[in-house]
């Protein structure tokens, strides 16, 4: 994995992947403005990303959060002042639990022996969105329109995907993740909507993308998204069978198309 290097996925559309959490962020450049998709996890990481964007374009920027998890939206301060877009549920989540999430991550990074990241998070001020959407919104970057779409309940209740229709690219945030086996155990958290997630993936597929940029990992194609949509449907079926008493938990693990650590995260 190359840390912090731009990959051009289409004309003036770029992804940047990092070693820390295998995070992938994005940049879409128009004629008059650019759009930064997620800002990383703290003020130092955000400053690195802002400088990296300036390596590509000097145009004024707008920021969009794909969701409220810290690694995607705590690095915004170096981009200010600017419009910051997110789903209305993201704004509510940051107001409700953003500070507690910051404190938990500080403690976690200190326990993991990463004092530099912990200190950066201590210096981080969470930036709430100042522009919110409920279903979708269209942004004019100058000669290029970009759609912000809420695909439905999935990784969170407020996921936003970014559709660049002129080049067939979708930045999917964590509605799509590209781990060693597609999903990872970390894909599924307490605010995940397992049974609704396949519908969100269908909404992404309905956009007919050529390239899908996940929130973690390398860009993927429609075949990848379809395969892991079907895999998630299979896991949901196994989970329902356990609940109905039709199969044991051990048998469900044995029949899962994914490794046990991924399967356990869904079937628990």
Q: Cα dihedral sign for 62, 23, 90, 158? A: positive
Instruction: Compute the residue count for the chain.
Output: 268
- pLDDT band at 18; cut points 50, 70, 90: very high
- pLDDT band at 226; cut points 50, 70, 90: very high
Q: Supply the pTM of this predicted model.
A: 0.96
- Give the SS3 label for residue 129: coil
Residue 206 in tokens: 């309905």
Distance CA 208, CA 205 (A): 5
- Superfamily the domain 5-267 falls into: Ribonuclease Z/Hydroxyacylglutathione hydrolase-like (3.60.15.10)
What pLDDT digit, counting tens, does each position of 21-52 carry? 999 999 999 999 999 999 999 999 999 999 99
Distance CA 80, CA 73 (A): 13
- pLDDT band at 268; cut points 50, 70, 90: confident
Q: What average pLDDT does the segment 191-206 reach?
A: 96
What pLDDT is recorded for position 190?
Answer: 83
In whole numbers, what is the pLDDT of the chain averaged over residues?
96
What are the φ and ψ backbone dihedral angles of 232, each rounded to 5 degrees? -65, -40
Residue 267: CB partners within 8 Å, gap ≥ 6?
A: 235, 238, 239, 242, 249, 252, 253, 256
What pLDDT digit, counting tens, does each position of 53-99 carry? 999 999 999 999 999 999 999 999 999 999 999 999 999 999 999 99
What pLDDT is recorded for position 189?
Answer: 86
Nearest CA to 75 out of 34, 103, 47, 110 is that of 47
Q: What average pLDDT does the segment 95-107 reach?
A: 98
Residue 81: CB partners within 8 Å, gap ≥ 6?
A: none
pLDDT of 1 over the 80 cut: no
For the chain, percent of residues with pLDDT exceeding 90: 94
Domain boundaries, the chain: 5-267
What are the φ and ψ backbone dihedral angles of 121, each rounded to 5 degrees? -65, -35
What pLDDT is recorded for position 11?
Answer: 98
């Amino acid at each position: 994995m190359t840390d912090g290097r731009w990959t051009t996925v289409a004309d003036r559309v770029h992804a940047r992947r990092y070693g820390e959490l295998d995070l992938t962020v994005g940049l879409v450049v128009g004629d008059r403005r650019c759009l930064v998709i997620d800002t990383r996890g703290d003020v130092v990481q955000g400053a690195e990303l802002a400088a990296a964007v300036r390596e590509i374009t000097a145009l004024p920027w707008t920021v969009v959060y794909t969701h409220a998890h810290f690694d995607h939206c705590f690095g915004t301060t170096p981009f200010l002042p600017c419009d910051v877009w997110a789903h209305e549920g993201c704004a509510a989540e940051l107001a409700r639990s953003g500070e507690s999430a910051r404190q938990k991550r500080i403690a976690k990074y200190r326990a993991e022996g990463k004092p530099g990241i912990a200190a950066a998070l201590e210096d981080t001020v969470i930036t709430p969105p100042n522009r919110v959407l409920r279903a979708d919104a269209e942004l004019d970057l100058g000669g290029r329109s970009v759609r912000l779409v809420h695909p439905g309940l999935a990784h969170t209740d407020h996921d936003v995907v970014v559709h660049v229709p002129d080049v067939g690219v979708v930045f999917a945030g964590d509605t799509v993740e590209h781990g060693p086996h597609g999903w990872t155990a970390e894909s599924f958290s307490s605010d995940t909507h397992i049974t609704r997630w396949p519908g969100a993936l269908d909404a992404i597929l309905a956009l007919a993308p050529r390239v899908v940029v996940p929130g973690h990992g390398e860009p993927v194609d429609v075949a990848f998204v379809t395969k892991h949509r079907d895999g998630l449907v299979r896991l949901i079926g196994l989970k329902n069978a356990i609940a109905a008493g039709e199969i044991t938990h051990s048998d469900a693990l044995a029949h899962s198309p994914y490794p046990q650590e991924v399967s356990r995260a869904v079937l628990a």
